[in-house]
Amino acid sequence: MKCDLAIIGAGPAGMTAAVYGARAGLSVKLVEMGAPGGQLVNTDWIENYPGFPEGLTGAELMIKFAMQAMNFSEVEYITSYVSGISRKGNELLLTTSGEEIEAKAIVVATGAMPKKLGVEGEQAFIGAGVSYCGTCDGAFFRDREVAVIGGGDTALEEAVFLTKFASKVTLIHRRDAFRGAKILQDRVRDNEKIEVLYSETLERILGDTNVEEVELKQVESGELHRMKVDGVFIFVGTSPNTEFLKNSDVELDERGQIKASTQLETSMPGVFVAGDARQTQLRQVSTAVGDAALATINASKYIEGL
């Protein structure tokens, strides 16, 4: 298969890149290994994306993104897994689980996945009490007690969301103050179902066939104590989905994030990046959209110069 622009990933950045690519008159292959949406489809509520004053669910917003992108005849959606990128003269090649794709330029918009803590019991109890998505699994913990680990926006949002189901949510943060937005901190503080434990870390997750309790450590004293819970929801950041680039000419940093210029071109000419896969301080829908617009416009200019 041949195209002008290949986009890897169909989250907010990928869908925006498809719109901008089509409007530039490019033939676009939008490659995603599953359904569109990325992490956004698991977000319960979005109220900070301009144009939607009432707010809406992540899934609803992503449907709108997808409808707009697929309105363009220039855009073809391909369900496939990308395992590598290489160069063939002036062309770039995407090795996929299906047919190889030949493109003049590429926008990498693969996003990120929830990061694991790596504590004892975490891996063993995934699907048996350990989760990284409150929207996905919250209903399984109706009238039960759960722990939420983290202190950023996602942890605060998910803690509040989980009170729709759980009888009690204990929010555990390793620092003495949250990093999340003030409005989210206020919602946590005002919710009677949420108890906050500051300056504590999760050390172990314990149980038989399902999660039964967690072992926590107080940061200052080092004292260990246990707490009964039925579920553990972990929100401690994300890791970029860039494994497929490790044998390419695209330079990654020590965390696996893609390095890029101010014009969002990577170290591999013709390959651009947008969204959570790149080195960036802020990971929001709005920043992913802005990245994608800039990356795609510059990809179009790159193609014109070939």
Would you please indicate which residues are annotated as catalytic (active-site) residues?
Answer: 133, 136-137
DSSP class of residue 247?
T
Distance, in Å, from the CA atom of 38 to the CA atom of 224, rounded to the nearest integer, reads 37
Beta strand residue intervals within 126-283, DSSP E: 130-131, 145-149, 168-172, 194-197, 200-207, 211-218, 224-228, 231-234, 238-240, 271-273
Phi, psi dihedral angles at 194 (to 5 degrees): -105, 130
- SS3 for 111? coil
Nearest Cα residue to 82 out of 194, 210, 243, 204: 243
Q: What is the CA radius of gyration of the chain?
A: 21
CA–CA gap between residue 140 and residue 231 (Å, rounded)? 9
Q: How far apart are CA 299 and CA 71, in angstroms?
A: 21
Q: Which residue has the tokens 């950041």?
A: 237
- 135's enclosing H/E stretch is helix 134-137
Strands (E), the chain: 2-8, 28-32, 75-79, 82-88, 91-96, 101-108, 112-114, 130-131, 145-149, 168-172, 194-197, 200-207, 211-218, 224-228, 231-234, 238-240, 271-273
Residues 6+ apart with CB under 8 A from 82: 8, 31, 33, 94, 95, 96, 244
DSSP 243: G
In terms of DSSP bridges, do strands 145-149 and 168-172 run parallel, antiparallel, or are they unpaired? parallel
